[in-house]
Structure 1
Amino acid sequence: MAESYFLLAATFIPLLLAPVAYGIGRKAGVNAATWFSFGILAVSTALLLIPAIGIYNGQQQTYVESYVWGQFGNFGLRLDGLSLPFALIIYILCTVLALYSKPYMVHKVSEDLPEHKAGHNGDSNGPVASAGNDHSSHGSSPNISSSQQLTVLETDQRVKNQIALYFSLYLAFSMGMLGTVLATNLIEFYVFFELMLVPSFFLVAFYGYGARRRIALMFFFWTHVGAVVLLLGLLAMGFFAGGFDFDTIRANAGNIPAQWLPLIVFALVIGLGVKLAAFLVHIWLPYAHAEAPTPISALLSPAMIGIGAYGLLRLWMELLGGTGAYEQYSLYINMWGLATMIYGGAMALMQDDIKKVLAYSSISQMGYILFGLGAESVLGITGGTLMYVTHGLGKAILFMMAGSIILQTGTRSMTKLGGLAGKMPYTAVLAMIGALTIIGIPPTSGFMGEWILFNGMLQTAATDMDPLRTTMFGLGILATVLSSAYILWMFKRIFFGKIPEELAHVKDSNRYITVTMAVFAAMTLIIGVYPDLFLAPIDDYINGMFEGNSEVLPVPVHIEESENSGESVVVAPPEAATAGGEGGH
């Protein structure tokens, strides 16, 4: 067992302190709940960074904390080159969006109060604004009657109660996502996989838009059924391998009968494909993401659905890698990814609602990740993994932009918008950085992800002289044009053209929103210029996963400069240490 408890603390502190956040919110108000939740997640992120820095510096390749868990094996938390980018992006998003949530959720909760449905906006100085600022206005004016004062106090407390519940569910949701990507045991993975569903269901049902309860039930039904299908595959893996620990599965994957292997792969791919919202099992996503409160949309889309890609990497490609299950079915994943890219992009181009454009865009971006994972090359898989990072940052910025526009204009319809660049310059600039990230334009991180992904796909097509993969590579490049089309069309309709008269007095949102957007914009630019922050550990780990499989899987060629002549020479790829099957450090 590891001597340190960094990962255990980082995972469970948000869950254990979620009831405290609820109590603080009810008693001390919105500001206190916001900053307390932010502080919890910031501390947890710092705890996560401690072993992450060791991995990045090369001091260790894997950091594991393991605890005996009875008949299920060991309850472990593992940080390595594969889980590191997922874990960091999840907690960075959760931490920053906790601050973004404050003005947005105060506005959203106040809108839902019956006495404030009419004539209220995000800049109100009425009772809701007082709730957001943690001071009540009762007794502040001699013209307010005692009955009016009572209404103000009741409204103030209702807002506090709702925000307190929101942050407690938010913290539990954060814990579930992190635990899933750190798990070292099949049953543990499934428990966390379901734990992140429960709070997200309530967040949509309590704080969403439209027919939110029906949409939350649809979201729950689809993703839970997918999780049950996944569970069947996990149980079969554990039964034939003689245990549920990842190390046990990896060591004994050859014991899985050949006739069972296709069924297990099918269960994994379908169960995780539902979470990814891949084409044909995507039905729940446009509704859930469009109607969820915007801070939660900015977590569901960038963080949660991409965990399905992590599951494919860990459970299918790594644990079953020695059985040939990856090479046998990778082409079909490649085709599924291409269909998802094109479908999501085409549907996004037809939408008028900003959040629905971004929801269908998320489907398309998950297609890029699947496309990379099915590329059957180390470069393609590395690029697909890096796409989780780039999509997380870019899509978070764009969903936050949508929330800012909803706050300031009261509408999500692009036909009612236009010319907002002059009124909301900070939002426009930051949104453009997010848009360029999704399109894949340098110097954003999106360029690096797409460049590596398509390079890997082309490498496989050229190595195998495969006309089908070559055709899919060409169609994938065309799909990037579709992505550019819907993103730029959305941006033009929102920020350029003639501004409607009723929006003449619109201005940028407050600092809680613009500063948090700026944090993600800065990150995507930094990673675009210096991608090794995430690329180096991913590349090392993926190389380690497929070490010895060079006959089947093309590996990247490294070009180095000769010390004597200064000429560039081709060298063999560096030896990557085996990433799996080792204990903690």
Structure 2
Amino acid sequence: MVDSSYYLMVATFMPLILSPVIYFLGKHKGVNITTWSTFGILAVSTILVIIPCIDLGSGGSYQEVFDWSQLGHFGLKLDGLSIPFAITIYLLSTIIVIYSKPYMVRKILIQFDQLKNSKSADSSTYNDIENDLYAAKDGNSLSTLMLTTDQKSYLNEQLGLYYSLYLVFAMGMLGTVLATNLFEFYVFFELMLVPSFFLIAFFGYGKRKRTSLMFFFWAHVGAVIMLLGLLAMGFLSGGFDFDEVKANVSQIPSPWIAVIVAALIIGFAVKLGAFLVHIWLPDSYTDAPTPITVLISSAMTGIGAYGLVRIWIDLLAGPGNYSDYAIYVNIWGLITMIYGGAMALMQKDIKRVLAYSSISSMGYLLFGIGSESILGISGAIFMYVSHALGKGLLFMMAGAIILQTGTRNMDKLGGLGGKMPYTAVFAMIGGLTIIGVPITSGFMSEWVLFNGALQNAVVDWSVLKTVSFALAISATILTSAYILWMYKRIFYGVVPETLKNVRDSSKYVLITMGILASLTLILGVYPDLLYKPIIGYVQNLYEETSDELKPIKITPGSSNALSNTTEANLGREQPGQINNVTSNTEIITMKKTHLISGNHLVSYVTI
């Protein structure tokens, strides 16, 4: 039994520590043991992340803090912002382990044949998408292949390498969204880049080495720009702990605020793949092995939105630090939505359609974050979850098509709805989630996001915000167009003669797709599972009066330098009172929060 003081610590570092073990198991024990061992590690880690969330309910926070160095404290924290990101990252990572098995077996065997035929260690010039040598057209052939000794040895070693890098990748993403220190945040942010680079370089398609280098270059440049902002925040506020920065934000000179905000927005926008800094994204999504594309698209890319909310809106909250720049982020998000949707309509490669679709979806997140409203930001956070489920399903559909047909070119597909009915149903649920149709989670995220954007436009009587809202709503038509057009070309029409014997994918693929489809429907019917903590968190960033929504004004000393657990809920205006926050009757809401420091568990009440 894990000590309650170390739930998050174990969940974060167990995959890293055991990654060499997984490589050893893969090399010496084979595919099945490696797959299920990796699954077990991430399943246990996921449970350890979920356990503290159960006690928190819709408020409070759970934090593990340890003495570190002159840079501050090393901490891992769950609250209304990190909970949806952390759970989504590890749930997806766990599920995709199983999905990876049949896909990566095929991928590695194709690479083995290429290496053997080319007599060269460099097979990066091969584009094996159209190679159907190992296409599982009967749904079962991959599990019944008779492999030579050389094939089996190569497969075992490469799959062990894949899963070991996979574990480090998942760990880096989780650590980023749990970090409580600027330097710690940057370390994890960069750490998730390294294994994803190698996963593309070793197991990707086409010119995978070139693509992985471009991916690394853009991601690292964005991270360095972000680092400049983080360093300025830390030095000018007198510390690197989030709580210390937040408490002393007023000490940062005004001219530096503009520089810091610009660095953060640009750095995180690169991670999101926003318009103008999206160059890395289409090729990376297309050339990466599909299970890794699922994780990059569904889990990693959206972490840029987490960074904007946590580092920019939360830590730098104060007069002018958010509201002066929000409209620019809002418009940038709108342009990204329209550009991504328009480009998706022009593609014939399934993964490339979904790559541009992801750019468009990240535009929704930016649009919500720049909306200057509780509902808009809450909807953007929930959009991360719904996008992860919907886009995850669609990329898994693309992988299933590749497994069964040996191609992802829609000109060579058609009529597969009757041949692959389960894949077609799950893909439709994923598509409806991205479009935002009831009763999927996508509808709930878009409803709240656009509600907040419209609310703010009406309250401010802003023509610019109203036009931006109208154009954003119109952009959803583009989303519907490219999703339905892609679906029609794949699953309707006449089945090509070469695909007459195609059948649905193996149980590994169908069960994992079914899990994601179930989750998006559950959250569509009962979104409060995540909306309660999300809205509770965002409300703490704002003060609400009867007339308007304004960014909260944080003064020095309003936050404890270590615990970050002070939460004050101001009461509603009573009859006869002046409509002023300072004259309202203060209602103290007691919420249980846990702080873990070193080896000691401290339970206390926040006020």
Structure 2 length normalisation: TM-score? 0.87
Deviations 1:447-504 (A, max 9, x none): 0000000000000011011111000110000000000000000000000011111100
Q: Judging changes above 3 Å, is the alpha-carbon distance between structure 1 residues 575 and 405 closer, same or farther for their aligned structure 2 residues?
A: farther
2:133 maps to which residue? 120
Query: Is the partner of 2:540 in helix, strand or coil?
Result: helix
Specify the alignment match of 2:600 in structure 1: none
Retained in 2: the 8 A contact 1:254–1:323? no
Task: Please tell me whether the aligned partners of residues 24 and 160 of structure 2 are also in contact (alpha carbons under 8 angstroms).
Answer: yes
Mapped partners of 1:105, 1:65: distance in 2: 36
Higher relative contact order (CA 8 A, sep 6+): 2
| Structure 1 residue 319 corresponds to structure 2 residue 315 | yes
Compute the displacement of 1:55 (Å). 1.4
Aligned ranges for residues 101-112 of structure 1 at < 5 Å?
A: 101-112=100-111
Q: Report the CA distance shift for 1:552/1:183 in structure 2 as closer, same or farther (over 3 A).
A: farther
Task: Quickly say closer, same or farther: Cα 1:255–1:458, change in 2 above 3 A.
Answer: same
1:69 is paired with a residue whose SS is: strand
Q: What is the root-mean-square deviation in Å for CA atoms of aligned residues?
A: 2.2
Q: Is the 8 A contact 2:543 2:550 kept in 1?
A: no
Change in Cα spacing, 1:578 to 1:211, as seen in structure 2 (3 Å) is: farther
2:86 partner letter = A
Counterpart residue number, 2:182: 186
1:460 to 456, 459, 463: 456
Residue 74 (structure 1) aligned with residue 73 (structure 2): yes
Give the counterpart of 1:473 among 461, 469, 472.
469
- Structure 1 equivalent of residue 350 of structure 2: 354
Q: Decide whether the 8 Å contact of 1:21 with 1:33 is kept in 2.
A: yes
Q: Deviations over 1:96-118 (max 9, x none)?
A: 00000000000000111134887
C-alpha change, 1:575 and 1:381, in structure 2 (3 Å) is farther
Change (3 A) 1:578 1:418: farther
Sort the Cα spacing of 1:324 and 1:93 in 2 relative to 1 into closer, same or farther, 3 A.
Answer: same
Mapped to 2, the partners of 1:119 and 1:475 lie a distance apart of: 43
1:505 is matched with 501
Corresponding residue SS for 1:322: coil
Q: CA contact under 8 A between 1:459 and 1:554: conserved in structure 2?
A: no
The aligned counterpart of 2:151 is: 155
- 1:338 is paired with a residue of what secondary structure? helix
Residue aligning to 1:16: 17
Q: How far apart are 1:257 and its partner, in Å?
A: 0.3
**Identity score, percent:** 59
User: Which residue identity is paired with 2:372?
Assistant: E
Equivalent position SS for 2:74 = strand
1:217 corresponds to which residue?
A: 213
1:178 positional shift: 0.1
Give 2:514's aligned residue.
518
Q: Partner letter of residue 22 of structure 1?
A: Y
1:544 Cα offset (Å): 1.1
Q: Which amino acid aligns with 1:536?
A: K
Q: Residues 410-435 of structure 1, C-alpha deviation per residue, up to 9 Å, x if partnerless?
A: 11110110000000000000000000
User: What is the CA deviation profile of residues 5-34 of structure 1, one whole-angstrom value per residue up to 9, with x for unaligned ones?
Assistant: 000000001111111111111111011110
Count of residue correspondences: 546
Residue 295 of structure 1 is matched in structure 2 by 291
**Contact 2:302 2:362 (8 Å CA) reproduced:** yes
What amino acid maps onto 1:63 in structure 2? Y
Per the TM alignment, residue 553 of structure 1 is displaced from its structure 2 partner at its CA by 2.5
| Secondary structure in structure 2 of the residue aligned to 1:547 | strand
Residue equivalent to 1:329: 325
Cα 1:549–1:6 change in 2 (3 A) is farther
TM-score (norm 1): 0.90
Secondary structure at the aligned position of 1:67 is classed as: strand
Give the alignment of 1:292-441 within 5 angstroms. 292-441=288-437
Which amino acid is 2:350 matched to? Answer: I
Structure 1: gaps spanning 5 or more residues: 139-151, 556-571
C-alpha distance after superposition, 1:223-273 (max 9, x if no partner): 001000000100000000000000000000000000110000000000111
Q: Which residue of structure 1 lines up, in the alignment, with residue 84 of structure 2?
A: 85
SS in 2 for 1:269: helix
User: 1 CA distance for matches of 2:349 and 2:488?
Assistant: 14
Give the Cα–Cα distance (whole angstroms) in 2 for the partners of residues 444 and 124 of structure 1: 31
Q: What is the rounded CA distance, in whole Å, between the counterparts of 1:549 and 1:287 in structure 2?
A: 47
Match of 1:203 in 2: 199
Displacement of 1:576 in angstroms is: 9.5
1:544–1:577 Cα contact (<8 Å) kept: no
Distance of aligned partners of 1:576 and 1:278 in 2 relative to their CA distance in 1, 3 Å threshold: farther
**Structure 2 stretches of 5 or more lacking a match?**
118-127, 552-583, 597-602
SS of alignment partner, residue 244 of structure 1? coil
Matching residue within 533, 540, 549 for 1:537: 533
Change in CA separation of 1:231 and 1:306 when aligned onto 2, cut-off 3 Å: same
